[in-house]
């Protein structure tokens, strides 16, 4: 019966009382009914949020720097757009949160890429200070990965993350030898 998350308990009760199944709910206390209603609304909100995010994921025009005004034009005819909320403010707020989540994830993925890149070592920053060629070599390797390319819209911040990572590596120094972290394989006699 209650299919929209915008409905209040007060309004829903009026509709539900007319439903034939309402009599079966008489055994429940008022607070239990409201608790079940609230849980149902929460589940609807979660489902609608997931569907709205899926719509945004499927919209190829959405980038990390997209503007709501432009994306709204592309998605406004999709039922998931209207089902999410009747409030444009709520949709815009959710869009902003969605982009923030995507940006955070993209940066984390980029940091992971930096860790995986064998060309980058604790000596890299010193090598870059001597010649820019090493930085170009690193960027040439990185640009083959979508985790680098997805941050194309914020090149300066991406470079800042890269340089911060190189500084951290230099500060930490050479990694310990592989045997230093493994337990001793020799048996005690």
Model confidence pLDDT, tens digit, residues 72-90 = 999 999 999 988 888 899 9
Residues of the chain with pLDDT under 70: 1-6, 12-14, 17-18, 20, 22-24, 180-189
What per-residue confidence (pLDDT) applies to 187?
54
Using only C-alpha atoms, what is the Rg of the chain? 27
> Which of 83, 140, 86 has its CA nearest to residue 117?
140
| Neighbouring C-beta atoms of residue 162, cutoff 10 Å | 23
What per-residue confidence (pLDDT) applies to 6?
66
Residue 12 CA from chain centroid, whole number: 34
């Amino acid at each position: 019966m209650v299919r929209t998350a915008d409905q209040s308990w007060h309004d829903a009760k009026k509709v539900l009382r007319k439903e034939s199944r309402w009599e079966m709910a008489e055994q429940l206390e008022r607070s239990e009914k409201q608790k079940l209603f609230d849980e149902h609304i929460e589940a609807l909100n979660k489902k609608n949020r997931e569907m709205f995010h899926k719509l945004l994921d499927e919209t190829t025009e959405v980038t990390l720097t997209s503007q709501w005004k432009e994306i709204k034009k592309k998605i406004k005819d999709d039922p998931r757009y209207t089902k999410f909320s009747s409030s444009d403010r709520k949709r815009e707020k959710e869009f902003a949160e969605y982009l923030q989540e995507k940006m955070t994830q993209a940066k984390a993925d980029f940091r992971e890429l930096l860790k995986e890149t064998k060309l980058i070592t604790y000596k890299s920053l010193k090598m870059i200070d001597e010649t820019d060629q090493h930085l170009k070599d690193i960027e040439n390797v990185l640009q083959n990965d979508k985790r680098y390319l997805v941050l194309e819209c914020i090149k300066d911040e991406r470079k800042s993350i890269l340089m911060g990572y190189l500084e951290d590596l230099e500060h930490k120094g050479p990694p310990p030898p592989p045997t230093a972290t493994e337990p001793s394989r020799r048996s005690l006699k």
